[in-house]
Structures are given as C-alpha cells and as structure tokens.
A = this chain, B = another copy of it.
C-alpha cells in the first residue's frame, strides 16, 4: 500500500510516495513562488505529482494523497480556509486534486501531520499514546492516540502551545496572556537570552553570539555547557517552563512518550537529561504515575511527508 505524502511549506512543497511500513521513495519538490495565486501553485503541484506517479509506475498501488498544510483548514471539506504563510484564502485544495487525479485526498495541519509521522514511524513507534511538542518560532505539535491523529472539532484542536501556564503572564501572539508558547518557544528563549545578555555584559553568551553571528536558541545552551552561570540560569529557567507544560500534558494524557522537535530539540542529551531529571524529581506531574519518556524526534523533515501519507493508511 502506497500513499503520496505532501508537506506544504511557506517557501517550498515537498512530497514522496510512502509505503504503509513507513519506507519512503525519493522526494519531489516544488518552490512556492511568492505572490502566485494558490490555484496556480496547486495546478503545478498536481502536474508534479502526476508525473512522479507515472515515472515510478505506482499508480495502481496508491490509496490516496495526504497533505500537511500550515494555517487554518477545514479538514472535512478539504479547504484551506486561510494560510497566512501562503496567502491562500478559501482554497478547495482537495477538490482541485480530485478533479484531476483519481485518488482520495486528506488534508491536515502541518504540525499535526508531523506529529502523526513521528508517532507512527519515528520516536513514538510502537506505543499507543504520543504527544509531540514542536519548539520553534512558536510551540506547535500534535496528539496521537491509539494510532489515530486527534484533531478536534473542525480539525482546530491540538493547539499545543496555547495553554496558559501563567495567569496574566507574557503576551502571546494568539491574543491570550501566559501561553506555553510565550515561555517555551525558541522565540521565548531568544528573548530571555537577550535580556540576560543586556543585564550581564560579562557573560560568555556575548562571545558565543559573536561566533554564531547572531543570537539564536543555541546561544544560552552553548554558553551553559561551557560553565557560564548566567547562561545556565537562562537554560534552567527555560527547562522549568517547558517541563511545567510537559507535566500538564502528562496529567491530561498520561502518554507513553512526549516527543520534542524543532530547533531547540537539537540540543541533545544535555537538554533531555535536564528535562528527564526535572520530570523524575516532580513524579512526572502526579504522584504514583507511570514514567513518561521525553525524547527527540527522529524523522527530521521527513515526518511531514510520512505523516501526511499516513493520513490514508
């Protein structure tokens, strides 16, 4: 059984044929031309997909086409309600595909789809309850329960970064105050890093930032590893914020695994040891509760394509 999995991003679209055991054939790609109408981009994408299927000679094995799309979707109707990144507005992408290709089409939020890929074939493989948190510009992610992607009413659930962990706290982009995203995103640790650097001209973080050519999510981690106490405070505070969010998800879902992805999740054992120590010390959120493994994502950028294809399996 094969499905085409397509990962639609703000600057490029990538896809591949994926077998129902998670194996992937080679990747096709299409740039997203700025300012181009969505219908035109999708027309080109359908051309690419059609050629790819013909070239590979897999037309008869394909059970459908899945897509991960950033923005607000109506997953039941297969419509992109609005995507700020792509400037797609009310685009009936599923119908456009179905008018030209004889396959079922499913769409879902890009972060949810990536979580689904990781849960089925990556760091969450083999266990029933998986939560993924993506620590990037914002905090996204997804919920996979009993091998099924949980999306909520109209597919508008699983806004993992938008739980308030601090009443009347930091302003969040969503309009609320105190969301996890405002504390545990890469953006948040960058802001905390900048603030600590301003207050501490002696911190090693200045040298590290200079070497990196910018202040990004790595600065505090790099300096902390080298023993800088100010950086260590930034990191430990970040771990605390993140773990309070993770423990909330532990208590709600009592998952087997929490997968972390996104730039921050590249900090390796240094990060994950700190997280797992913190969680152990706090009994994984609730007394006498089972251990929740917190692990890095495994599939990298392929999670989107594999997860999108998995919508059809």
In A83-105, the 8 Å CB interface with B consists of none
In A240-259, the 8 Å CB interface with B consists of 241, 244, 247-248, 251-256
Supposing A247-B176, A253-B157 touch, asked if A167 and B166 sit within 8 A by C-beta, the answer is yes
Supposing A176-B282, A285-B176, A286-B174 touch, asked if A248 and B152 sit within 8 A by C-beta, the answer is no
Supposing A164-B247, A244-B164, A288-B72 touch, asked if A157 and B283 sit within 8 A by C-beta, the answer is no
Q: Which residues on B sit within 8 Å (CB–CB) of A162?
A: 248, 251, 285-286
The answer to whether B156 and A254 touch across the interface, beta carbons within 8 angstroms, is yes
In A154-176, the 8 Å CB interface with B consists of 154, 156-160, 162-167, 169, 174-176
Q: Which residues on B sit within 8 Å (CB–CB) of A272?
A: none
* Minimum distance in angstroms from A254 CB to a CB of chain B: 3
Query: A82: nearest residue on chain B (CB-CB)?
Result: B288
* Minimum distance in angstroms from A114 CB to a CB of chain B: 17
Chain A interface size, as a band, is 35 or more
The answer to whether A286 and B156 touch across the interface, beta carbons within 8 angstroms, is yes
Q: Which residues on B sit within 8 Å (CB–CB) of A167?
A: 165-166, 169, 241, 244
Residue A129 is within 8 A (CB to CB) of chain B in the complex = yes
Could you say which of B72, B129, B152, B166 contacts A129, with CB atoms under 8 Å apart? B152
Residue A278 is within 8 A (CB to CB) of chain B in the complex = no
The answer to whether B175 and A289 touch across the interface, beta carbons within 8 angstroms, is no
Residue A37 is within 8 A (CB to CB) of chain B in the complex = no
Complex CA gap A248/B248 in Å reads 10
Residue A153 is within 8 A (CB to CB) of chain B in the complex = yes
Complex CA gap A199/B222 in Å reads 51
Could you say which of B145, B163, B178 contacts A150, with CB atoms under 8 Å apart? B145
Residue A268 is within 8 A (CB to CB) of chain B in the complex = no
Complex CA gap A150/B283 in Å reads 21
The answer to whether B286 and A164 touch across the interface, beta carbons within 8 angstroms, is no
User: B-facing mask of A115-146, CB < 8 A → 1, else 0?
Assistant: 00000000000001100000000000001010
Query: A257: nearest residue on chain B (CB-CB)?
Result: B153
The answer to whether A253 and B152 touch across the interface, beta carbons within 8 angstroms, is yes
Complex CA gap A19/B163 in Å reads 39
The answer to whether A163 and B248 touch across the interface, beta carbons within 8 angstroms, is yes
Residues on A lying within 8 angstroms of B by beta carbon are: 72, 81-82, 128-129, 143, 145, 150-154, 156-160, 162-167, 169, 174-176, 178, 241, 244, 247-248, 251-256, 282-283, 285-290, 292
Other A-B contacts than A129-B152, A163-B163, 13 sampled, CB-CB below 8 A, are: A72-B288, A153-B255, A153-B292, A154-B254, A157-B252, A157-B254, A162-B285, A163-B248, A164-B165, A165-B166, A166-B166, A166-B167, A167-B244
